[in-house]
Amino acid sequence: MLNFMRDNGRWLSGGFLLMLFSSFGQTFFIGMSGNDLRAAFDLSGGAFGGIYMLATLASAMTLPWLGRTLDVMPGWKVARFTIPALAFACVLLAVAPNVAVLTLSLYLLRLFGQGMMTETAFTETGRWFVANRGRAMAVIVQGSQTGTALLPMIVVLVHGWSGDWRAVWFASAAVLMLVGLPAIVGLMRVERVPQSTEAKSLTARTARDWTRGEVIRDPMLYLLLAGVLAPSFIATVIFFHQGYLIETRHYDPLAFAAAFTVMSLVTVGFSFVSGALIDRFGSLNLLPYSLLPLAASAAVAGLVTPVWGVYVFMFLLGISNGLTSTLFGALWPEVYGLANLGGIRAITVSAMVLSSALGPGITGALIDQGIPLPTQMLWMAAWCVLASVVLAMAAKKIGLREAVARMPALQGN
C-alpha cells in the first residue's frame, strides 16, 4: 500500500484535497452554524430544514447538467471554476442580508461543495485507476474524513475566539482560494494513464460503456439507488439535527464535536479495509452487506440517550462511512463503464444530493409535528435492513447480466 501511495501520490493527493475541501459544502459543516443561522433569520427548525431542502433540491437538479463538464474537459479545469464558486458561496452565506440570499448561498454551497467537488474526485479517480480502484478510492475518501475529524473542533475554537460565526465562513473562503485552488489544480494538471498491468483487469472489473440514456432506462439503477441513498439521507439527518440532539438530550457541544473525530478515525480504518476487499472481490459482491452497520448506528441513535451513546453511534457510523464511501465510489464503473462516467456519476450524485436534501426537510417537519428524531431513527434502521435485501437482489441480477454479456467474447477466444 505504501508503494502504491508513493508511486501515485500526485493523483491520490489531488483526489484527497478535493474531498477535504468539499467539507465547506457538506451538511456537517453547515450544521455547525445551524443554530446561529436560525437565530439570525428567526427561523424554526422546520423552516430552516425546509430552506435547506429547497436549496439542496435545486442543486440536485443542476448537478446532472453541470457534471457533464467532466466528460468534455479535464478535471483540473473543472476544479478551476468549482473552487472559486465554492469560496464565493462561503462569503455570500456570511454576508446574507435576508432569507432569499441565505437560500442562494446554501444552494451554491451544496452544488459546488457536496456536488461538484466530490463528483470530480470520484470521477477522475475512477478513470485513473483500474486494478487498484478500491485502494485509490479508500485513499481519497480520507480527505472527507479528515475534514469531518478536524473542522468541527476548529469551528468551535474559531467561533469562540472571534465571537462571530461569520468569521468561520470568511476564513473558509480564504483557505479555499489561497490553499485549495493552487494545490488541487497543480496536482491534477498531469493526467494518469492506467498501466498495462492494470489494463488487463479492465474487462473483469469494468462493465461495457453505457450511455446516460441507457442508464436512466435501466431498472437496476433504481434498485441500487434504493440502498445507495440511505447513507447520505441518514448521515445528513444526524449532522443537520446535531443542535436538536444536543439541546433535547443535554449533551455538551464540545463532547458531541469530539465524537466526529471518533467517527472519522474509524472511517479511515474501514475505508482501507473496504478498498482491499473491493480489489479482491469486486463491489457487487460486497454490496448486500454495506448497509448493516448503518442500520445498527441508526438504531443506537434512536435508543441510547446517555452521552456515551453518541460515541457508539458515531463509531458505527464511521464503519458505515468507511464501507459505503469507498464501495459506492468504485461501484459505478463496475456497473456502467468509463466512457460516460462523468455524466453517469452526475445522475447518481444528484440522487444522493436529493436524498440529503429530503432528510432535513422531512425530519424537521416531523419534529414540528411532534414526532421526535429518535423515533424517526428507528424507522431509518428498518429502511437499511429492507434496502440490504433489495441490494442483494440487484447485485445478483447485475452479475448475471455481465456474465451473459461477456459470453460471446469468451466464445470468440
User: What would the pLDDT profile of 3-29 be if each residue is shown by its tens digit?
Assistant: 777 777 888 999 999 999 999 998 888
Are 143 and 17 within 8 A, CB to CB? yes
Domain boundaries defined on the chain: 2-188+205-405
Report the pLDDT averaged over residues 336-365. Answer: 77
The predicted structure's pLDDT at residue 193: 66
**What is residue 201's predicted lDDT score, i.e. its pLDDT?**
47
Q: Determine contact, residues 301/309, Cβ cutoff 8 Å.
A: yes
In a 13 Å sphere around the CA of 177, the CA atoms on its Cβ side amount to 14
Q: How far is CA 262 from the centre of its chain?
A: 18
Cβ neighbors of 78 (< 8 A, separation 6 or more) are 69, 70, 116, 120
Q: Could you tell me the pLDDT band of residue 410, with boundaries at 50, 70 and 90? A: very low
DSSP secondary structure letters along 206-219: S-----HHHHHH-H
Report the CATH superfamily, name and number, of domain 2-188+205-405.
MFS general substrate transporter like domains (1.20.1250.20)
Distance of CA 107 to the CA centre of its chain: 16
The answer, yes or no, to whether residue 225 has pLDDT greater than 80, is yes
Per-residue pLDDT of 58-116, as tens digits, reads: 988 888 888 888 888 888 899 999 999 999 999 999 999 999 999 999 999 999 998 89
Could you tell me the pTM of the whole model?
A: 0.71
pLDDT at 270 over 70: yes
pLDDT value, residue 113: 92
Q: What is the mean pLDDT of residues 318-333?
A: 82
Mean pLDDT for all residues in the chain: 84
Res. 202 pLDDT band, cuts 50 70 90: very low
pLDDT in tens, 248-257: 888 888 888 8
Query: pLDDT digit string (tens) for 111-157?
Result: 999 889 988 998 888 777 766 777 788 888 888 878 887 888 888 88
Q: In this predicted model, which residue has the larger pLDDT, 212 or 231?
A: 231
Q: How many degrees, rounded to 5, is the angle at CA 403 between CA 399 and CA 407?
A: 170
- How many other CB atoms sit within 10 Å of the CB of residue 252? 11
Say which residue the cell 444522493 belongs to. Answer: 352
Is a pLDDT exceeding 80 seen at residue 39? yes
Q: Say what the pLDDT of residue 408 is.
A: 55
Burial of residue 86 (CB within 10 Å: 0-12, 13-18, 19+) is buried
What is the end-to-end Cα distance of the chain in Å, rounded?
Answer: 34
Q: pLDDT grade, residue 56 (50/70/90)? A: confident
Closest CA to 180 of 205, 207, 213, 147: 147
Residue range 219-229: mean pLDDT, rounded: 86
Task: Name the pLDDT band for 194 (thresholds 50, 70, 90).
Answer: low
Whether 46 shows a pLDDT value over 80: the answer reads: no
Question: Would the pLDDT of 44 be above 90?
Answer: no
